[in-house]
Amino acid sequence: MQSYILSLLIFLPLIGGAVVLCLPKANQTLIRWVSLAFAGINVIFSFILALLYSQATVSNFSHSSFQERLPWIPSIGINYTLDVDGISLLLVVLTSLLGLVCMAASYRQQKRFKNYMAFMLLLQSGILGVFLSANLFLFYIFWELMLIPAYFLVGTWGGERRIYAAFKFVLYTSVGSLLMLAGIIAVGYFYTRTAGAGCGFTLDIGTLTNGLTNANTGAVTCAAHFDSTTQLWLFLAFAAAFAVKIPFVPFHSWLPDTYSESPAPVTAILAGAMSKTGAYGFLRICIPLFPLAVQTLAPFFSILAVVGILYCAVLALVQTDLKRILAYSSISHLGVVMLGMFAFNAQGVEGSVLQMVNHGITTATLFLIAGYIEERVGTRNIADFGGIATRVPIMATILLIAALSSLGLPGLNSFAGEFLSLLGAFRSNVTLGVLGTAVVVPAAWYMLRFFQGVMTGPGPALGPVAQVTRRGGLADIRMGEFLAILPLLALIFYIGLQPAPLTFLLHQPVLNTMQNLGNAFIK
């Protein structure tokens, strides 16, 4: 199994989507259980991979046995190459788990249910492909594959402005993706000019980064040698795609519209898993391949991260829509991820990756709870709410736990990631560290406003929430909803109390990444 487990992880959801499309659309129960079975098996495979990888790490064995490499179009450097390390491993497990959780949370979906579940599986397949690809062209294929199901999930099953949100999402991401494609072609071209005679054309990330090692002499050949100007333009081509997906301000305006118009389970997987592909792209491609450009542009991207942290926190304060509050909060927290990453020290980068995982867990929980609330009362306007905690005490407790996790409360999952990210930022630049840490003030404000506005205080006398309350129709969380969200709650506490297993897996891959930047970046 070890030799092809990465391909299984990618293509099992794709096969599952095809199987679901062959099922009779009238039998929604069968569709639901088949979809959950494929997603559940994928979670099992991801945990098997984590166990095998952990055992290899503890035993100091080589992880090369997990790599899969098959010639595809070798004449132009395109191979089917998959690989995994501690960084991608955590994101693979997160994506697999969120896929299962979000499909389980979709059990009340009725509209074109067969297509909905097939697209959810296809989206999961695309995201996993991005995290496991070790060839730039293969990475691009899965990057574009994500766009197709995301577009249909937003545009078909979204709210009133779903078409606008879906087109805006596609427009922003397509422009960035085209620039990345141009960058991929340029990387191959400049590699053939600088790598030396006999090296050929390649797009394998490992070869581009580290070259080829002679088994007999140990000499390294065929490494890429891009000059500083070339690196700068190539970095910007890739960054155009990654900055939109994160997103950095000012490329962020698609995200609140997309998140607010999507069904809650779709928003949860978009915010929890797909948004991490941009940050992962910076860490896996831009930083190792273009270290001179990174050294030049790191202050600029760190400033963009701080702007996103503070600006979107302030925007979250003035929103009245529950999902838009969480959307701007998500951008702000991803700014912390990028600030830690561009600190370029072990603490910052480890905290950045750990916070990607924590943000995925916490934000998915928040969006699912917001969706449960909207499904009951038919509104997301915070002014319509108030005082419902006494009627939905379990849901209120879960929302409070997720809100405190988002604030980085010690003992919950986000604390360790945010602490390490900001510690790394302080070690790199005290001013940016202080500005990044200042987000705790507006973050506490908007998150407490979110919780208190919905759950505490006097209830409204008029409006949809008041009508539902008077009819006695405001039910607490159902068993199916609770079981769907339970794995995320367990991880909020487990990672908060025991983050060491995750940082253990991250430590060596992070050090390897930092070494590609040269001694000036190893701190």
Domain boundaries, the chain: 297-523
The rounded percent of the chain whose pLDDT value lies above 70 is: 93
Q: Which of 82, 87, 57, 91 is nearest to 3 (CA)?
A: 82
On the question of pLDDT at 521 being above 70, the answer is: no
In angstroms, the CA 311 to CA 335 distance is 10
Confidence at residue 216, expressed as pLDDT on a 0 to 100 scale:
59
- Please, how many CA atoms are within 13 Å of residue 266, restricted to the half-sphere of its CB? 30
Q: Are strands 212-213 and 220-221 parallel, antiparallel or unpaired?
A: antiparallel
Confidence at residue 520, expressed as pLDDT on a 0 to 100 scale:
37
In angstroms, the CA 105 to CA 347 distance is 35
Confidence at residue 519, expressed as pLDDT on a 0 to 100 scale:
43
DSSP 313-373: HHHHHT--BHHHHHHHHHHHHHHHHHHHHTT-SHHHHHHHHHHHHHHHHHHHHHHHHHHHH
On the question of pLDDT at 148 being above 80, the answer is: yes
Q: How confident is the model over 335-393, as pLDDT tens digits? A: 999 999 999 888 999 999 999 999 999 999 999 999 999 888 888 889 888 888 888 99
Average pLDDT across the chain, whole number:
89
In angstroms, the CA 103 to CA 42 distance is 13
- Tell me the whole-structure pTM to 2 decimals: 0.94
Assess contact for 81 and 68: CB atoms under 8 A. yes
Tokens of 229: 């100007």
Q: Which of 182, 140, 516, 511 is nearest to 349 (CA)?
A: 511
Q: Which of 249, 240, 279 is nearest to 417 (CA)?
A: 279
Query: Would you give the DSSP letter of residue 221?
Result: E
CB atoms within 10 A of CB 470: 10
Confidence at residue 522, expressed as pLDDT on a 0 to 100 scale:
44
Q: Which amino acid is at 515?
A: Q
Assess contact for 237 and 292: CB atoms under 8 A. no
The torsion angles phi and psi of 172, rounded to 5 degrees, stand at -60, -50
In angstroms, the CA 359 to CA 368 distance is 14
On the question of pLDDT at 523 being above 70, the answer is: no
Q: Where are the beta strands (DSSP E) in 179-328?
A: 212-213, 220-221
The torsion angles phi and psi of 73, rounded to 5 degrees, stand at -130, 75
On the question of pLDDT at 41 being above 80, the answer is: yes
In angstroms, the CA 52 to CA 446 distance is 42
On the question of pLDDT at 191 being above 50, the answer is: yes
More confident residue, 464 or 114: 114
Q: How confident is the model over 288-339, as pLDDT tens digits? A: 899 889 989 999 999 999 999 999 999 999 999 999 999 999 999 999 999 9
Assess contact for 211 and 220: CB atoms under 8 A. yes
> Tokens 């702007």 label which residue?
307
